[in-house]
Amino acid sequence: MGLEEYRRSVSESKRASILRAARAAFLKDGFSRAAVAEIANMADVSTATLYKHFDSKEELFAAVAKDAAMSVGDYSHLLDPDTAPRDAFLTLSRAYLATQFENHVNDLMRIIIAEVPSHPELAREMMDLIVGRRHRSLQNVLDRLVAQGMLRPHDTTLSAKLASGMIKELFVWPALFNADFRLPEDTEAKIDMAANVFLARYGIDTTGQGMTG
Amino acid sequence: MGLEEYRRSVSESKRASILRAARAAFLKDGFSRAAVAEIANMADVSTATLYKHFDSKEELFAAVAKDAAMSVGDYSHLLDPDTAPRDAFLTLSRAYLATQFENHVNDLMRIIIAEVPSHPELAREMMDLIVGRRHRSLQNVLDRLVAQGMLRPHDTTLSAKLASGMIKELFVWPALFNADFRLPEDTEAKIDMAANVFLARYGIDTTGQGMTG
Amino acid sequence: MGLEEYRRSVSESKRASILRAARAAFLKDGFSRAAVAEIANMADVSTATLYKHFDSKEELFAAVAKDAAMSVGDYSHLLDPDTAPRDAFLTLSRAYLATQFENHVNDLMRIIIAEVPSHPELAREMMDLIVGRRHRSLQNVLDRLVAQGMLRPHDTTLSAKLASGMIKELFVWPALFNADFRLPEDTEAKIDMAANVFLARYGIDTTGQGMTG
Amino acid sequence: MGLEEYRRSVSESKRASILRAARAAFLKDGFSRAAVAEIANMADVSTATLYKHFDSKEELFAAVAKDAAMSVGDYSHLLDPDTAPRDAFLTLSRAYLATQFENHVNDLMRIIIAEVPSHPELAREMMDLIVGRRHRSLQNVLDRLVAQGMLRPHDTTLSAKLASGMIKELFVWPALFNADFRLPEDTEAKIDMAANVFLARYGIDTTGQGMTG
DNA sequence: CATGAATGAGTATTCATTCAT
DNA sequence: AATGAATGAATACTCATTCAT
């Protein structure tokens, strides 16, 4: 049993090492250009061992993608139950961008998008994990704010999308087309503008007083 | 002259045929997986002839991409000089989505995004053609509306992005992750909602009366 | 007839132009790497026209080689009928090296040598033209010197070879293996040494007095 | 260890087999015309395996060339420390010609010469291995003979070149231009003549008595 | 159980030569 | 007679995957 356990732990550490190497390789070269042999090399494992853990290059990529998608979490806990709408918008936007830019999520998205035609199920699954999870997280917050009377009653599924659409356009979309794109200095100011737009429509203070731009 | 003209016409028809075949192949398989030999085959042309027309696979792809990008044009002419903000928003959104979904622009974007790490210049150029051109077109309209006093004075570079961000999130983003995604039945209604949000902030009638949702 | 003549002259000038371009191309890239299309281009001629003049790339090369071989001529006329042995040796050596280094003969030899296995007849023919002609020319001079009593009687076929072997080893052999090799500053001195060796054996003054090294 | 050893032996035998096949192919067709695929075929190996052993066609050729160059060794050991000049000259010449004609060195030289413009470093390296090594070996012998008072003091770098130049002209040069050239029946006699010339100048007995021709 | 050598099917690209005009 | 577009066959090289040990 001790032996068995030892073996399992070794096996798992190899699996993790392969995943790490694969992630790095895919991020660097994309799916097609990344070489299995090099991944095995970087993971200090033989190709045969790699294939013991993952049936094919595609499965390996799927595992990498899922792994990464898992790291994109739920943001609700960042907020106090009585955080005001503007603060909620700002906080969630910051958290969104942080995970997006710090965990190479932009780069992974690029690869997943590339694989959409050949691996539609994987892509949809990833889309659900990465995009859907964050969407639901945001919607929960909005629902809470509506319930607390801090936002006008409205279709929060839609409004959540509009909100994240504005943020994405400003920061994610450029990053998708330019691997060197970094968050600009005026990120905060821009988020604030987006908040203004959002609150002009959904906030309860329709005069828009207190707007910063 | 007869000879020269004949040759030119043959050459151009071959070039067009190659471009068509290449477009189909790239859309089906992406850049890396598409095989030059198969493209030549589909175009009823030898690989050598293909290479007479395009110096490399990458240039061929660039030509395909530019071709498609060109079809994504300027929308300003769709509007009368006195079109009201809401109508402008709706008309431009519809035109945007029409070109996006009818010319396989979504699919091409996917491929371009995939090639960002390996062909950054191409990607940036395409981004400018596809995204930038539409952005400037929209901004021009917004500037006109501000000048006419039909929109509050504001930073139209930013607002144009926020507007197209909302539309993209609703329709383009899902299409990027799902090749089978089609514009839903309630597309019009959703565009309208986005218009509401936009106008709540930038419209001159801040009461938002007449909103549909 | 005037027309016919004109055509012939045009045709010949094209042929000459092709030969010139081919020579340059072969010298630059060797036989295999030189591209027929580029030769035609440089000669301002279509590939079809080139093939009207030369049935194949190989025939073209043969023509170039023969052309060049013809330029390697007879040296006997450089000498007065009473030139002394040492002066004859020096003069002929200088003439030999001049044609060898000024007419790209080294480079042509390299290409011909390369083609020996695939075009043995051509190679042998070239060998005879380039090497044989010079050999006979030298032997004639030696025979004259023997007849004049200025050299010991001996087998001049052999001695001519020994003489040119010494010169070749010093200057041609290095040039064959190094395209950048140029005649060194002490060329004269080295030729002189070779002359000493030659005359020590074949000269009539066996004391070797007057030797310079 | 058993496994490792087994693998090494298999690998080495494959490598040797590839080298053999490559040598044959290069000798038959020269560098450019020889096809990697055919070499792999002849070696009963896949092209991929061939490329595991040699990074490129050029490295493969370099390996073949070096292999052959190594067989062209040092001749000093063939001589007793008191061998007389004429015997030394004859023995070294015979050894030189033996290695040159028995190991396809002539044919390899042809290929190397062909590659001089495109692979100058390789050519220079081979030149040094094949020509330079033998030159130094010969020079050492001459230096010894001078030191022993068996040859006149002189510039042995130059005299070594003159000696091997004479031998080359008689036997190597023809072989370079004619793949079927074999050492003639009177080889010994010709070597002897060359020795006479050499000794007439550098021998201590300047009367040249005892000359055979 | 782990290895790494081996592979077959594929890749983009080139080029001597021909042929419709 | 001259063109230049077109080609088929070939080229060096790569890579995901398997298998004998």
Question: What percent of chain B is modeled with pLDDT above 90?
Answer: 60
Number of helices and strands (H, E) in chain B?
11, 0
In angstroms, the CA C101 to CA C181 distance is 10
A103 is near strand E: CB distance < 7 Å: no
Asked whether the predicted pLDDT for residue A23 surpasses 50, the reply is yes
Quick check: D124 CB within 7 A of strand E? no
Residue A208 predicted with pLDDT over 50: no
| CA nearest neighbour of A134 among A93, A80, A176, A82 | A93
For D168, nearest residue in chain C (alpha carbons): C165
Say if the Cβ atoms of D197 and C194 lie within 8 Å. no
Length of chain A: 213
Q: Best of C130, C134, C152, C177 to disrupt the D interface by mutation (most D CBs within 10 Å)? A: C177
Give B142's contacts (C-beta < 8 A, 6+ positions apart). Answer: B151, B156, B159, B160, B202
CB within 8 Å: C179 and D112: no
The reported pLDDT for the residue numbered D2 is 65
Q: Where are the alpha helices (DSSP H) in D34-167?
A: 36-42, 47-53, 57-71, 85-102, 105-114, 120-127, 133-147, 156-167
Give the mean pLDDT of chain C. 88
- CB–CB contact D131 C177 (8 Å): yes
DSSP C156: H
Q: Which residue, C162, A137, A32, is CA-closest to B117?
A: A32
Each residue of D107-162: pLDDT tens digit?
Answer: 989 988 988 888 888 888 888 888 888 999 999 999 999 999 999 999 999 999 99
Instruction: Please state at what angle helix D187-202 crosses helix C187-202, rounded to 10 degrees.
Output: 110
* pLDDT > 90? residue B146: yes
Q: Mutate which of B100, B106, B113, B192 to disrupt the A interface (most A C-beta within 10 Å)?
A: B113
Residue pLDDT, tens place only, D98-107: 999 988 889 9
C-alpha torsion angle, residues B20, B25, B30, B34 (rounded to 10): -120
* Bridge partners, residue D173, by sequence: none
Chains B and A touch (3+ CB pairs under 8 A): yes
The answer to whether A48 CB sits below 7 Å from nucleic acid chain F is yes
SS3 assignment, position D145: helix
The pLDDT confidence band at residue A213, using thresholds 50, 70 and 90, is very low
Higher pLDDT, A82 or D8: A82
Largest CA distance in chain D: 70
At residue C177's C-alpha, the angle toward residues D129 and D183, to 5°, is: 75
Residues listed for chain D: 213
As beta bridge partners, residue A203 has: A151
Q: In this structure, are residues D173 and D120 in contact, taking their beta carbons and an 8 Å threshold?
A: no
How big is the C-D interface in CB pairs under 8 Å? 158
Decide: CB of A10 under 7 A of nucleic strand E: yes
Q: Cα-atom radius of gyration of chain C, to the nearest Å?
A: 21
Say yes or no to pLDDT of D62 above 80. yes
Subunit contact A162:B131, Cβ cutoff 8 A: no
The nearest alpha carbon in chain D to C186 belongs to D158
Grade residue A4 by pLDDT with cuts at 50, 70 and 90.
Answer: low
Q: Is the CB of B52 under 7 A from strand F?
A: yes
Using CA coordinates, name the residue in chain A closest to B208.
A201
**CB proximity list for D17: less than 8 A, separation 6 or greater:** D43, D44, D45
Which structure tokens are listed for B54? 């395009």
Touching, A vs D (3+ Cβ pairs under 8 A):
no
Examine the pLDDT at C29 and tell me if it is beyond 90. Answer: no
All chains having 3 or more CB pairs closer than 8 angstroms to chain A = B
Could you say which of A117, A165, A179 has the minimum Cβ distance to residue B116?
A179
Q: C203 pairs with which residues across the strands?
A: C151
At A145 the pLDDT is 94
- Tell which residue, A43, A35, A41, A42, has the closest CA to residue A61: A35
Residues 53-72 of chain B with CB under 7 A from strand F are 53
| C173 confidence band (pLDDT: 50, 70, 90) | very high
**Alpha helices for C35-177 (secondary structure H):** 36-42, 47-53, 57-70, 85-102, 105-114, 120-127, 133-147, 156-167, 173-177
C-alpha distances out from residue A196 to A15, A89, A134, A155, D195, Å: 47, 10, 21, 18, 103
Q: Crossing angle for the helix pair D85-102 and D187-202, nearest 10 degrees?
A: 140
Q: Which residues contact A129 (CB under 8 A, 6 or more apart)?
A: A66, A69, A70, A72
H helix runs in chain A, sequence order: 2-33, 36-42, 47-53, 57-70, 85-102, 105-114, 120-127, 133-147, 156-167, 173-177, 187-202
Backbone phi and psi for residue C151, each to the nearest 5 degrees, phi listed first = -135, 150
- Residue of chain B nearest A169, judged by CA positions: B165
* pLDDT, tens only, A26-60: 988 888 889 999 999 999 999 999 999 999 999 99
What confidence score (pLDDT) does residue A212 get? 47
D208/C206 CB distance under 8 A: yes
pLDDT reading at A119 higher than 50: yes
For residue A151, the cross-strand partners are A203
> Which one of A158, A167, A187, A190 makes the best mutation probe of the B interface by having the most chain B beta carbons within 10 Å?
A158
Cβ–Cβ below 8 Å for D177 and C28: no
- Residue C2: pLDDT band by 50, 70, 90 thresholds? low
- pLDDT tens sequence across C50-62: 999 999 999 999 9
Looking at chain C, which subunits does it touch, using at least 3 CB pairs closer than 8 Å as the criterion?
D
DSSP 8-state class, residue C168: I
Contacts of A176 (CB under 8 A, 6+ apart): A106, A109, A110, A113, B113, B116
Please check whether residue D18 is in contact with residue D45, taking contact to mean a CB–CB distance below 8 angstroms: yes
Closest CA to B168 of A134, A160, A101, A164: A164
Number of C-beta neighbours around residue B12 at 10 A: 11
Q: What is the pLDDT of residue A67?
A: 87
- Whether pLDDT at D208 is above 70: no
- Look at residue C108 and give its three-state secondary structure: helix
Nucleotides of strand F under 7 angstroms from a protein beta carbon:
1-21
Q: Categorize the per-residue pLDDT at A125 as very low, low, confident or very high, splitting at 50, 70 and 90.
A: confident
Task: Convert the pLDDT of each residue in C98-132 to its tens digit.
Answer: 999 988 888 888 988 888 888 888 888 888 888 88
Residues 53-82 of chain C with CB under 7 A from strand E are 56-58
Determine the Cα–Cα distance for residues B32 and B58; give it in Å rounded to an integer.
10
Contact B90, B192 (CB under 8 A): yes
| Angle of CA points A40, A46, A51, to nearest 5° | 80
| Three-state secondary structure of B26-67 | HHHHHHHHCCHHHHHHHCCCCHHHHHHHCCCHHHHHHHHHHH
What pLDDT does D213 receive?
Answer: 43
| B157 Cβ nearer than 7 Å to chain F strand | no
Task: Tell me how crowded residue C147 is: count the other CB atoms within 10 A of its CB.
Answer: 10
With CA atoms as reference, the chain A residue closest to B186 would be: A158
Enumerate the residues of chain A whose CB falls inside 8 A of the CB of residue B107.
117
Mean pLDDT within B44-61: 94
- Which range scores top for mean pLDDT: A152-166, B60-74, B77-91, C72-86? A152-166
Question: Whole-number Å distance, CA B11 to C1' F4?
Answer: 11
Q: What is the mean pLDDT of chain A?
A: 88
* Nucleotide nearest A54, from its CA to each C1': F17
Return the nearest residue to E1, CA–C1': A49
Q: Which of the residues A133, A201, A206 would you substitute to probe the B interface, choosing the one with the greatest number of B C-beta atoms within 10 Å? A: A201
Positions in chain E where some atom is under 7 Å from a protein CB:
1-21
